[in-house]
Structure 1
Amino acid sequence: ALGFARFVSVKMTNYQEHVTEYGVHWNFFFTLATVRVLASVLLTFLPARQMWILGLVIGMFYQFILEATELKVFIMHNNDREKDFLHANKEGIFSLAGYVAIYLIGVQIGLYVMQPRSRVSEWLTMLLNLFLGSLVLFGCLHICQNLVEPVSRRSANFPFVLWTVAQSLYFLSCLGLADMVLLFSKRTSGCHAIPSSLNLYKKGADSDELSSKERGETERLCFIQAVSRNQLLFFLLANLMTGLTNSLVDTLSCSSSFSVCVLLLYMFINCLVMYVLHLCGITVKFW
Structure 2
Amino acid sequence: MDPNYKARKEAFVSNLSGSSIQDINSVTLVAATSVLLWSALQSRLSFFSPYGPAALLADFILNVLSILFATTAYSSAPLLLNIFLITPAVLLFLTQPAQRSPQKAKPPRKNTKYAAAQNEKESLPIHPFLTTYRAAMMIVTCVAILAVDFRVFPRRFGKVENWGVSLMDLGVGSFVFSAGVVSARAVLKSRASKSPHRTLVARLIGSVRHSVPLLVLGLIRLWSVKGLDYAEHVTEYGVHWNFFFTLGLLPPFVEVFDTLAVLIPSYEALALGIVVLYQVALESTDLKSYILISPRGPDLLSKNREGIFSFLGYLAIFLAGRGVGTRIIPRGTSSSKSPLQARKSILISLGIQVMFWSTLFYFNSYHAFGYGASMMVSRRLANMPYVLWVAAFNSAQILLFCLTETVFFPTVHRSSGKEGEEERTSIATSRILHAFNRGGLAIFLIANLLTGLVNLSIPTLDVNTPQAMAILVVYAAILTGAALGMDKYNIKLRL
TM-score interval for Structure 1 and Structure 2 normalised by the shorter chain: 0.7 to 0.9
Please say if residues 140 and 162 of structure 1, whose CA atoms lie closer than 8 Å, have aligned partners that are also in contact. no
Corresponding residue for residue 387 of structure 2: 161
Corresponding residue for residue 242 of structure 1: 451
Give 1:27 shift. 0.9
Corresponding residue for residue 273 of structure 2: 57
Percent identity over paired residues: 33
Q: Which of 8-17 and 141-150 deviates more?
A: 141-150
**Residue 136 of structure 1, aligned match among 340, 351, 359:** 359
Provide structure 2 residue ranges, at least 5 long, that are not aligned to the other structure: 1-215, 333-338
Structure 1 pair 225–143 and aligned structure 2 pair: CA distance change class (3 A): same
Say whether 1:78 aligns with 2:287. no
* Rounded Cα–Cα distance in structure 1 between residues aligned with 2:240 and 2:469: 32
Count of equivalent residues: 268
**Residue 150 of structure 1, aligned match among 376, 387, 391:** 376
**Residue 254 of structure 2, aligned match among 19, 24, 39:** 39
Please say if residues 218 and 243 of structure 2, whose CA atoms lie closer than 8 Å, have aligned partners that are also in contact. yes
Q: Which of 6-15 and 143-152 deviates more?
A: 143-152
* Rounded Cα–Cα distance in structure 1 between residues aligned with 2:440 and 2:421: 27
**Residue 10 of structure 1, aligned match among 212, 225, 228:** 225
- Which residue identity lines up with residue 241 of structure 2 in the other structure? W
TM-score, L = length of structure 1: 0.80
Say whether 1:102 aligns with 2:320. no
Q: Which of 240-249 and 24-33 deviates more?
A: 240-249
Please say if residues 353 and 392 of structure 2, whose CA atoms lie closer than 8 Å, have aligned partners that are also in contact. no
TM-score, L = length of structure 2: 0.49
Please say if residues 55 and 105 of structure 1, whose CA atoms lie closer than 8 Å, have aligned partners that are also in contact. yes
Please say if residues 49 and 111 of structure 1, whose CA atoms lie closer than 8 Å, have aligned partners that are also in contact. no
Corresponding residue for residue 284 of structure 1: 493
Corresponding residue for residue 481 of structure 2: 272
Structure 1 pair 211–138 and aligned structure 2 pair: CA distance change class (3 A): closer
Corresponding residue for residue 396 of structure 2: 170
* Rounded Cα–Cα distance in structure 2 between residues aligned with 1:92 and 1:44: 25
SS at match of 1:95: helix
User: What is the CA RMSD across the aligned residues, in angstroms?
Assistant: 2.9
Structure 1 pair 29–268 and aligned structure 2 pair: CA distance change class (3 A): same
- Which residue identity lines up with residue 139 of structure 1 in the other structure? Y
- Summarize the alignment of residues 226-265 of structure 1 with structure 2, pairs less than 5 Å apart: 226-254=435-463, 259-265=468-474
Give 1:13 shift. 1.3
* Rounded Cα–Cα distance in structure 2 between residues aligned with 1:104 and 1:4: 26
Higher relative contact order (CA 8 A, sep 6+): 2
Structure 1 pair 27–51 and aligned structure 2 pair: CA distance change class (3 A): same
- Which residue identity lines up with residue 283 of structure 1 in the other structure? K
SS at match of 1:24: coil
Cα offsets for 1:65-113 (capped at 9, x unmatched): 01111111110001224x2111111101111111111111111011112
Please say if residues 350 and 396 of structure 2, whose CA atoms lie closer than 8 Å, have aligned partners that are also in contact. no
Structure 1 pair 109–8 and aligned structure 2 pair: CA distance change class (3 A): same
Corresponding residue for residue 193 of structure 1: none
Cα offsets for 1:239-268 (capped at 9, x unmatched): 223323333444445556655554444333
Provide structure 1 residue ranges, at least 5 long, that are not aligned to the other structure: 188-197
* Rounded Cα–Cα distance in structure 2 between residues aligned with 1:99 and 1:40: 15
Max Rg structure? 2
- Summarize the alignment of residues 115-134 of structure 1 with structure 2, pairs less than 5 Å apart: 115-117=330-332, 118-119=339-340, 120-133=343-356
* Rounded Cα–Cα distance in structure 1 between residues aligned with 2:254 and 2:276: 17
